[in-house]
């Protein structure tokens, strides 16, 4: 399969408080050759972004502590990480939810439950690696983020402000 061959080695983060969704996405993405980073909520994700430097982030909307909208907004306000595509995940498919996701900077919206094909297609679209596209731009972005990453996103507590990511 051409599409999955081009995804080999990509780092994809899945943020969802549902273990079932996280594990399903992990299985589908690993079968496509992706490296998968899992996070249970926004705080967990923010602590892992600097360590792992994901190429793409799937983010559930409804989560405890720090919801998907807040998590996406923090990522997109960071000079170092704003270029990482963020795809919002939700079981709700309403216009309001999609619009709110766009307002905080999300790049796409994927409705749960998703299919393996839908998930893989989304990764390929956002990373420019589907159907034989060149890898150079994403590889350069990843190297640049990795060079800047070490102290940018330290593990944070409940008092986190937007300044932590900027």
CATH number of the domain encompassing residue 161: 3.40.50.2300
For residue 126, give its domain range: 2-146+154-165
Number of domains in the chain: 1
Q: What is the pLDDT of residues 112-138, one digit of tens each?
A: 999 999 999 999 998 774 333 444 444
Measured at the alpha carbon of residue 124, what is the angle toward residues 121 and 129, in degrees to the nearest 5? 150
Q: What is the spatial distance between Cα 154 and Cα 88, in angstroms, rounded to a whole number?
A: 23
What pLDDT score was predicted for residue 121?
A: 95
What pLDDT score was predicted for residue 4?
A: 58
Higher pLDDT, residue 22 or 1? 22
Q: Is the pLDDT of residue 101 over 70?
A: yes
Percentage of the chain modeled with pLDDT above 70: 73
């Amino acid at each position: 399969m051409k599409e999955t061959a081009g995804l080999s080695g990509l780092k994809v983060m899945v943020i969802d408080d549902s273990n079932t969704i996280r594990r399903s996405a992990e299985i589908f993405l690993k079968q496509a050759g992706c490296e998968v980073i899992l996070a249970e909520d926004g705080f967990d994700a923010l602590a892992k972004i600097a360590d792992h430097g994901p190429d793409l982030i799937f983010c559930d909307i409804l989560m405890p502590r720090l919801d998907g909208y807040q998590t996406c907004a923090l990522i997109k306000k960071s000079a170092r990480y704003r270029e990482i595509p963020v795809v919002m995940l939700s079981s709700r498919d309403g216009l309001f939810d999609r619009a709110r996701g766009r307002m905080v900077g999300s790049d796409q919206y994927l409705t749960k439950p998703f299919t393996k094909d839908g998930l893989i297609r989304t990764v390929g679209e956002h990373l420019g690696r589907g159907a034989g596209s060149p890898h150079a731009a994403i590889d350069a972005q990843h190297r640049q983020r990795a060079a800047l990453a070490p102290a940018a996103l330290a593990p944070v507590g409940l008092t986190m402000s937007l300044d932590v990511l900027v």
